[in-house]
Amino acid sequence: MIDFGFSLSKSSSIKLDEVDLSLYRRLEEVEPGVRICMGCGSCSATCNASKWSGMSVRKVILDLQRGRDMKEMLSCCMLCGKCSMVCPRGINTRHLILSLCRLYESGK
């Protein structure tokens, strides 16, 4: 193999037919409100932890829909609940995060 000084980057494309969406499906069962999220990002814009830790509820929901593990990001949430207050769809995002943490803890 020749070292060219650059190499192929891993593709970030997601094949939705192949990803494991079981965690998102279980979240839908306990928090049906997640289905009406329109990804506006109001929650992320108002998040106190966002600036320092990269926490974003919008990102959590979007990445779960793409089968990604979001456990690490959840640990950045301070559970202040400001995101719930600004959600135009009225989703209880604070409760959604707690439910998701419980799903991770129970290993379901």
Partner 1 sequence: MIFEGKQKIWSDYQKEIPSDGWFYVRSCIRQNFFPASEKYFLAVCRDLLGHDIYETRHHTTCGGIAYHSDTIPQETAMTIVARQFALMKEAGYKNLVTSCITSFGNYTEILETWREFPELEARIRENLWKATRREFDKPEHLAHASDLVYKFRGEIAERAKFRLVDKTAGRPLRIVEHIGCHYSKMFPHKGIGGAEYPCVLSGMVEAWGGEVVDYPERRHCCGFGFRQYLVKANRGYSVSNTHKKFESMEPYHPDAIITNCPGCPYFLDRWQYVIAEQTGKTYGSGGFGIPVLTYEELAGLVLGYDPWDLGLQLHQVAVEPLLDKIGIEYDPSAKYLGLDRKDIMRPGLPEVLKCC
CB of 69 to partner 1, least distance (A): 24
* DSSP structure string for 37-73: -----HHHHH-TTHHHH---HHHHHHHHTTT---HHH
Helix axes 22-30, 93-106, angle to 10 degrees: 130
Which positions from 2 to 41 touch partner 1 by CB under 8 A, shown as an x/- string?
A: x-xxxxxx-x-x----------------------------
By rule CB under 8 A, what count of residues binds partner 1?
10
Binding site for partner 1 (CB under 8 A): 1-2, 4-9, 11, 13
